[in-house]
Amino acid sequence: MGNLDIEGIINALRTITSGHQGPVSLHEPTLRGNEWAYVKDCLDSTWVSYVGQYVDRFESMLAEFTGVKKAVAVVNGTTALHIALKLAGVEPGDEVFVPALTFVATANAVAYCGAVPHFVDSEERTLGLDPHKLRDYLKSIARIDVGGCTNKFSGRRIKAVIPMHAFGHPVDLDSLAEVCKEYKIEMIEDAAESLGSYYKGKHTGNWGKLSVLSFNGNKTITTGGGGAIMTNDEHLGKMAKHLTSTAKIPHRWEYRHDYIGYNYRLPNINAAVGCAQMEQLPEFLVRKRHLAERYCDTFKKIQGVRFFKEPSFASSNYWLNVLLLDEASYKKRDEVLEATNDQGFKTRPAWDLLNTLPMFQDCSAMDLSCAENLVKRIVNIPSSSFLGKANAQT
Amino acid sequence: MGNLDIEGIINALRTITSGHQGPVSLHEPTLRGNEWAYVKDCLDSTWVSYVGQYVDRFESMLAEFTGVKKAVAVVNGTTALHIALKLAGVEPGDEVFVPALTFVATANAVAYCGAVPHFVDSEERTLGLDPHKLRDYLKSIARIDVGGCTNKFSGRRIKAVIPMHAFGHPVDLDSLAEVCKEYKIEMIEDAAESLGSYYKGKHTGNWGKLSVLSFNGNKTITTGGGGAIMTNDEHLGKMAKHLTSTAKIPHRWEYRHDYIGYNYRLPNINAAVGCAQMEQLPEFLVRKRHLAERYCDTFKKIQGVRFFKEPSFASSNYWLNVLLLDEASYKKRDEVLEATNDQGFKTRPAWDLLNTLPMFQDCSAMDLSCAENLVKRIVNIPSSSFLGKANAQT
C-alpha cells in the first residue's frame, strides 16, 4: 500500500473551508439573489402551477446561456432523459450505450423506454465515456446497414449513446461524434452535471441530437427539483414541450390529446427559483473555479492523492471536485471517506458501477477496466460555490 | 331542441361570482395562509430540494386527513398513478379497466406500465364508473382461475380497475369492491379530484389497494405541481417511497440502487406550500360546499339545465361544479361554452372520451352509452373556493 496522507487531506479540507461553520456539505445551494422576490410574485399572483411567466423565462435563459436553441423545463433530469431518448427514436428492444460510471438515472431512462443499457468504459482523461475504446469495441460487435447499427451478438439495434459529463467534466465530444456518425448511432448528452461546462469553447449539450440538464438541490443551480430537455432541432423542441405537458391539443376549452403524453412540466414556482439562480450562475461559476484552483494547489502537497483537473480541451464547471487516490492507495478509499465524514466534511465515492446493480447485472458490457479502476479511486469533496470567492472579493 | 336559457346561465354565474373582479377562472388557488412563511423557511435554510422537514410533514398531514395510513408525496398525480399501478402488480400485456370519462392521465399511466386500458362506462348517479354495468360486462367476457381474471376474448389478464372520482364525486365504492373481490381484480382509486370527498363517511382513497391524489394548480389544494400515492398497506407504502426516490439503498456515502427506480419525489419547497394549503383545507371545503349550495339553488330556476348534486351515499368536495344540460339541449353545449367564456366566465366541457383519442382508439371498450351521453351534457363552471363563504362570514 502506498503512503496516503489522510491527516493531510483533512487538514487541507479544513484550511480551504475555514470560515464556514458546522459540517461542510458536499454541494449546497446559494439562494441569495431574487429567489424570494420571484417566488413571492408567484404566490401573490397565485400562478404557482403550470401557467405563468417564469417557465418561459427560465427556458429562454437556459437557451441563451448554453447556446442551444430550445430548452424545455421539466421536473428533473431523469424525466428529461426519458423524453430525450423517446424523441431520439429509442424503441423497446433497442440497445443504448451508457457509461458504467454514471448516476443510475442514465440507465433507468433507457429502461423506461423498454430498451436495454449496454455498458461502456470511461477514460481517466475525462472520467467520462472513452470514444476511442468505444470505436474499437464497435469494430468487433457492430453491423451497419440501412436500418442503422446492429449488435451482431444480441441481434438488437444499437440506437443511441449517452455520454455523461461526469462531475461537470466534458467527454471528448468531437471524437464521440465521429464514432456516432460512422456507426449511425444517435448521441444524447447527459449534461445533468455540466451546466457551465464548455468543450472547445462551446457549451456542453450542443453535440447531442438532444441533451438534458438537472437542477436538483445538489447541482450548480437548483429549482428544488428540476431539469431541462435541450435541442437545436426546432421540431424536436416543440415535441418535447408537447409530450411533457400531457400532449394536449391547444383549444379554448376542449380537452383532447394526440399522443401518450407525460406530466413532466416544471411548476412555475420552481421555475421562479430557477430564474433567480440563472442570474447568479456566472458568479457561481467564478467561485467554483476559484475553489477548484485552491484545491488543486493545496492537494499538490498531499501524498497519495491528486486533484482531478479539467481535460485540456475543456473548461469545466467543477460541479463536484474530485480527488483521485493513487493506484497504490485505493484500498484506503473507505478510510478516507470515514475519516472525512467523521470530521464533518461530507465526502463520497463515485456511484457503484451500474453493471454491478441487480437490475442491470445481466446487461451487456464491454471491458470496463478503466471505470473499475476509477471507481475505486474517486473521492468527491465539498464543492458548494460559496466555498470559493467571487472575483470582486479576491 | 329543448329550451335552454343561456342568458339565464350567464346571469346566474354573474350573480354568484359578483364581487370578484375580472374574468372568473375555473379553479384558482387561494394562497393566504402560511405558504410564504414556510417557503421562505425553505429558501432561508436552503432546504429547497429533497431533504427537509416539509415533505414528511405534508405526508403526515395527508395521512391524518384522509385516514389512509401512508402517503408518499410525488411530483404529480400522473406519476403517482404510474407507481400505484406498478405496485398493484400491473405488468406489460395486462388489461386495466379505465372509465372512458376521465382525464387522460388515468389511461396514460396504464400505458406507462406496458399494459392496455380497457374502457368502461359511467353512471349518471356519480358521473363515475358504473359497478353494476361492469359486473354484467364481466359475466360475458371474464374467466376466473388461480391466476386471476382473464379476458376470454383478448386472452389478456385483467389485473386492475381504476375508478376515478370525477369532479370530486365518489364512485359507488362498496359495489365496485364487491365486483373486484368476485373477479379477483385489484382496485386503484384515482382520487386526484376528491381530496375532501367522503363515501359513506369515510374519505375516498381508503378502498383501493393503493390510491392517488393530485395537487395540481387547479385542484382543491395545490403544491404548484404535486401528487401523492396513498395506501393502507405498510409494505406497499415503503416500496412507494423507495421506488419514487430512485430506489437508493440507504448508506452513509454509497450510491447503490436495487430496483429500476424513478425520480418522482416532491421537492421540499413544493411540500412547504402543501403544508400551508392543508392547514386551510377545512375552510376551503366549507367555502366550496357553500358555493355548490348557491349554484344548486340558483340553477333550479334556469330552464334546460340541472346542477349536479353529490350522490346520496357521499359528501363531495365539489371540486369542479357541474351543470348537466337536459337531454333535449345537449346540442347547445358549445353555445353555452362560447357564450360563458365570451362573458369572462371560464367554463369547459368534460374531457373527450378517452376511447376517441388516436392513441387509445383501438383499445377494447364496453358499451359506453352513458358516458357518451354525459360528455355531451356536462359543463364545468367556476369553482374556486374563494367564491364561496366560510361559515364565520355567512
Last residue of a domain, one of A278, A308, A331: A278
A43 with A153, same domain? yes
Q: Which residue has the higher pLDDT, A147 or A368?
A: A368
Residue B348 touches chain A, beta carbons under 8 Å = yes
Last residue of a domain, one of A245, A278, A311: A278
**pLDDT > 70? residue B394:** no
B92 with B112, same domain? yes
- Out of A254, A261, A337, the one facing B108 most closely (by C-beta) is A261
Nearest chain B CA: its distance from A65 CA (Å): 23
Size of interface A-B (CB pairs under 8 A): 193
Nearest chain B CA: its distance from A171 CA (Å): 22
Is residue B40 included in any domain, yes or no?
A: yes
Is residue B309 included in any domain, yes or no?
A: yes
- All residues of chain A having their beta carbon less than 8 Å from the beta carbon of residue B261 are 104, 108
Provide the mean pLDDT of chain B: 96
**pLDDT > 60? residue B1:** no
Q: Is ipTM over 0.85?
A: yes
A217 with A342, same domain? no
At which residue does the C-alpha cell 411567466 appear?
Answer: A53
Q: CA–CA separation, A193 vs A205, rounded Å?
A: 11
Give pLDDT, residue B37.
Answer: 96
Report the Cα–Cα distance between both ends of chain B, in Å, rounded.
40
- Out of B103, B222, B261, the one facing A49 most closely (by C-beta) is B222
- Whether residue B110 contacts residue B158, with contact meaning beta carbons closer than 8 Å, is answered with no
* pLDDT band at A394; cut points 50, 70, 90: very low
**Which residue spans within B260-394 are E strands per DSSP?**
305-307, 314-315, 321-325, 348-349, 378-381
Q: CA–CA separation, B174 vs B172, rounded Å?
A: 6
A237 with A112, same domain? yes
- Whether residue B30 contacts residue B305, with contact meaning beta carbons closer than 8 Å, is answered with no
A159 with A239, same domain? yes
**Hey, which residues 28-87 in chain A have their CB within 8 Å of chain B?**
28-31, 35-36, 39-40, 42-44, 46-51, 75-79
Is residue B117 included in any domain, yes or no?
A: yes
Is residue A239 included in any domain, yes or no?
A: yes
- Whether residue B59 contacts residue B73, with contact meaning beta carbons closer than 8 Å, is answered with yes
**pLDDT > 50? residue B269:** yes
- Out of A28, A48, A261, the one facing B224 most closely (by C-beta) is A48
B292 with B308, same domain? yes
**pLDDT > 50? residue A393:** no
Average pLDDT over residues A205-217: 98
Nearest chain B CA: its distance from A29 CA (Å): 6
- All residues of chain B having their beta carbon less than 8 Å from the beta carbon of residue A273 are 43, 48, 269
| Number of domains comprising chain A | 2
Residue range(s) defining the domain that contains residue A312: 6-30+281-393
Is residue A1 included in any domain, yes or no?
A: no
- Give residue-wise pLDDT tens across range B30-52: 999 999 999 999 999 888 887 77
A208 with A308, same domain? no
A164 with A243, same domain? yes
**Contacts with B240 (C-beta within 8 Å, 6 or more apart), sequence order:** B70, B72, B83, B84, B87, B210, B229, B231
- Search chain B and give the residue with CA nearest A243: B108
CATH code, A286: 3.90.1150.10
CATH code, B138: 3.40.640.10
Q: Which of A25, A28, A31, A43 to mutate to test the interface with B (most CBs of B within 10 A)?
A: A43
B204 with B295, same domain? no
Is residue B1 included in any domain, yes or no?
A: no
Q: CA–CA separation, A297 vs A192, rounded Å?
A: 27
Q: CA–CA separation, B248 vs A19, rounded Å?
A: 33
Neighbouring C-beta atoms of residue B181, cutoff 10 Å: 10
CB contact under 8 A, B104 and A79: no
Is residue A354 included in any domain, yes or no?
A: yes
Q: Give Cα separations from B302 to A169, B24, B236, B339, B387 (angstroms).
A: 68, 20, 49, 16, 20
A125 with A215, same domain? yes
Nearest chain A CA: its distance from B356 CA (Å): 9
Q: CA–CA separation, A394 vs A392, rounded Å?
A: 6
- All residues of chain A having their beta carbon less than 8 Å from the beta carbon of residue B44 are 31
- Give percent of chain B with pLDDT exceeding 70: 99
Average pLDDT over residues A124-131: 98
- Whether residue A363 contacts residue A119, with contact meaning beta carbons closer than 8 Å, is answered with yes
What is the strand order of the sheet A321-325 is part of?
Answer: A305-307, A321-325, A378-381, A348-349
Is residue B364 included in any domain, yes or no?
A: yes
A190 with A316, same domain? no
Q: CA–CA separation, B309 vs B226, rounded Å?
A: 28
- All residues of chain B having their beta carbon less than 8 Å from the beta carbon of residue A357 are 256-258
Give pLDDT, residue B233.
Answer: 98
- All residues of chain A having their beta carbon less than 8 Å from the beta carbon of residue B48 are 29, 31, 217, 222, 224, 273
Q: What are the φ/ψ torsions at residue A315 (nearest 5 degrees)?
A: -120, 115
* pLDDT band at B390; cut points 50, 70, 90: confident
- Give residue-wise pLDDT tens across range A285-306: 999 999 999 999 999 999 999 9
B175 with B241, same domain? yes
Q: CA–CA separation, B181 vs B208, rounded Å?
A: 12
* pLDDT band at B2; cut points 50, 70, 90: low
Last residue of a domain, one of A257, A278, A299: A278
- Whether residue A370 contacts residue A130, with contact meaning beta carbons closer than 8 Å, is answered with yes
